[in-house]
Structure 1
Amino acid sequence: MDPITSQGLLFTAALAAGAINAVAGGGSFLTFPALVFTGVPSLIANASSTVALFPASLASAWAYRRRFTGFDGVPFRAMLAVSLLGGLCGALLLLFTPQALFDVVIPWLLAFATLVFAWGHRITPFLQRRVRLGPGSLLAAQYLTALYGGYFGGAVGIIQLSVWTLFGQRDIHAMNASKTLLTGSMNAVAVVCFVIAGKVWWAQTLVMLAGAVAGGYLGARLAQRLDPRRVRAAIILLSVGMTVVFFLRG
């Protein structure tokens, strides 16, 4: 693929990814494969995708600034601290993962993210009848989500929304507001680790960063006018498609 075509693909994928992340999450289903398909090794692509999408989460958070509602019984600062810690641990875990092993794990991580998003809201009543989901459980779940986010980042927004549905969260716009800020915080720590470790290909990353920021802000503005059910359906179709592609590629 020639350089101009590659840059056009990366910018377009990042523009759409920024908007998708602002709407419901799952933008990395576009940026990660776009980097891989243009010749970037998968582990480097994962780190570069995280760096490229990080500023977009801040742009989306600013657009959502009037939608923040917080979480019942858990201070937002505690959620933020847990997200930072989990993101750090996940990023360090990735840096110690061999490239060959990461290639094997990728399709399964994508499949897991897809299943959680598609069925998380259905298992909520079942779990709520059998498990006491209190503030401590929410913080523990947030840490595990952030750990996954720092390690892979693929569809972490989807997983975060799905986890929160288990705790009775229903307002998709309020959830998106919290998601953009907390996802941005866990990614911030991962970004620092990836940059220090030299795991970022900057030529591709900077192209995607510009597209993602524009898409993140515009997507957040648009998302507040969309039907959440249609948004959810579109993300499920996208995530299923990318999961199948990576299983076939493997």
Structure 2
Amino acid sequence: MIEWIIIVAAGFFGGALNAVAGGGSFITLPALIFAGVPPVVANATGTAALLPGYIASAWRFRHDIEFPAGIKYSTIMLIAIIGGSVGAVILLFSSEQLFLMLIPWLILFATTIFFIGPRLIGKAKQLPSQATNTIPVQRPHSQKMIAFIVLFLVCVYGGYFNGGLGIILLAALGLLGQTNLIAMNGVKNIVSALLTAIAVVVYAAGGVIASEHLWVLSVAAIVGGYVGATFAYRISQRALRIFIVAVGILMTLGFFLT
């Protein structure tokens, strides 16, 4: 009974955090593992539970998408699908012991990016732009290749772990020269939805999703996301970020000590 209370609470608070700032995986993954779900299955199940939120966010920002370095929509789709698939396949072939060993490092990495991400984006926005957002320019081939590689690596990470994916994508897009945060959110949401969708398909094919936990977690996350969105404008973003970073640090220490 206690494990289901933990799952419901984790889904609710994870969904709420994702709605207002991100970082819900920092709660759902440890909760599933604590409830007795194997680490790889817990990661795959938590990622699958977050998929509806990614799709809803992508639909909300569908008119605000501007891709970095002049990359076409079809290319972004291909990068997200291939990268998410590669990351998901790597997860399927990861042993429980290896993934459990990597978890604290992955959470530490995601927490660090979550903490410094806004500063990286802010610095990128201060860089001189070669053109306005409305005038297309011919991008150098090298710039496109760098964008391809960066986005592909982020998508592989998202397919493998998914924790902190949103802020990592925003930081990467900022460093690639994007300055319009709304447009960046559009790209972030569509890429997150695509790579997570294909990763979930791979997880399901590999039989690493705990369906009995998935539905409970998903419903709780949807309710939490709705409540979180309702109170999003009443909560200090700075306080939320501090709370999420604190949770990330505590989870990192907890996994290092276990």
The interval holding the TM-score normalised by the smaller chain is 0.7 to 0.9
Q: Say yes or no: does 1:180 pair with 2:189.
A: yes
Residue of structure 2 aligned with 1:190, choices 164, 174, 199: 199
Q: Does structure 1 conserve the Cα–Cα contact (< 8 Å) formed by 2:117 and 2:167?
A: no
Q: Say yes or no: does 1:75 pair with 2:84.
A: no
Quick one: distance in 2 between partners of 1:172 and 1:233? 21
Q: CA deviation at 1:102?
A: 1.1
Q: CA deviation at 1:84?
A: 1.2
Quick one: distance in 2 between partners of 1:193 and 1:170? 34
Q: Say yes or no: does 1:36 pair with 2:42.
A: no
Q: Show the counterpart of 1:93.
A: 90
Q: Show the counterpart of 2:212.
A: 203
Q: Say yes or no: does 1:12 pair with 2:9.
A: yes
Q: Show the counterpart of 1:118.
A: 115
Q: CA deviation at 1:150?
A: 0.7
| Aligned-partner residue type, residue 154 of structure 1 | G
Quick one: distance in 2 between partners of 1:69 and 1:231? 26
How does the TM-score come out when normalised to structure 1? 0.83
* Pair 1:109–1:233, CA change in 2 (3 A): same
Give structure 1 stretches of 5+ with no counterpart. Answer: none
Q: Does structure 2 conserve the Cα–Cα contact (< 8 Å) formed by 1:22 and 1:176?
A: no
Q: Does structure 2 conserve the Cα–Cα contact (< 8 Å) formed by 1:42 and 1:103?
A: yes
Q: Does structure 1 conserve the Cα–Cα contact (< 8 Å) formed by 2:120 and 2:171?
A: no
Residue of structure 2 aligned with 1:60, choices 57, 60, 66: 57
CA RMSD of aligned residues (A): 2.8
| Aligned-partner residue type, residue 35 of structure 2 | T
Q: CA deviation at 1:44?
A: 1.1
Quick one: distance in 2 between partners of 1:115 and 1:214? 28
Residue of structure 2 aligned with 1:240, choices 234, 249, 254: 249
Q: CA deviation at 1:119?
A: 2.3
Q: Show the counterpart of 1:214.
A: 223
Q: Show the counterpart of 2:160.
A: 151
* Pair 1:171–1:30, CA change in 2 (3 A): farther
Q: CA deviation at 1:64?
A: 4.3
Residue of structure 1 aligned with 2:147, choices 131, 138, 141: 138
Q: Does structure 2 conserve the Cα–Cα contact (< 8 Å) formed by 1:19 and 1:220?
A: yes
Q: Does structure 1 conserve the Cα–Cα contact (< 8 Å) formed by 2:11 and 2:28?
A: yes
Q: Does structure 2 conserve the Cα–Cα contact (< 8 Å) formed by 1:10 and 1:208?
A: yes
Q: Does structure 2 conserve the Cα–Cα contact (< 8 Å) formed by 1:22 and 1:57?
A: no
How does the TM-score come out when normalised to structure 2? 0.81
Q: CA deviation at 1:93?
A: 0.7
Query: How many equivalent residue pairs?
Result: 242
Q: Percent identity?
A: 38
Q: Which moved more, 1:232-241 or 1:11-20?
A: 232-241
Flag the structure with larger Rg.
2
Q: Does structure 2 conserve the Cα–Cα contact (< 8 Å) formed by 1:172 and 1:228?
A: no
Q: Kindly provide the CA deviation profile for residues 97-150 of structure 1, in whole angstroms up to 9, marking residues without a partner as x.
A: 111111111111111111222224545659x79xx9933322221110110111
| Aligned-partner residue type, residue 168 of structure 2 | I
Q: Does structure 2 conserve the Cα–Cα contact (< 8 Å) formed by 1:121 and 1:162?
A: yes
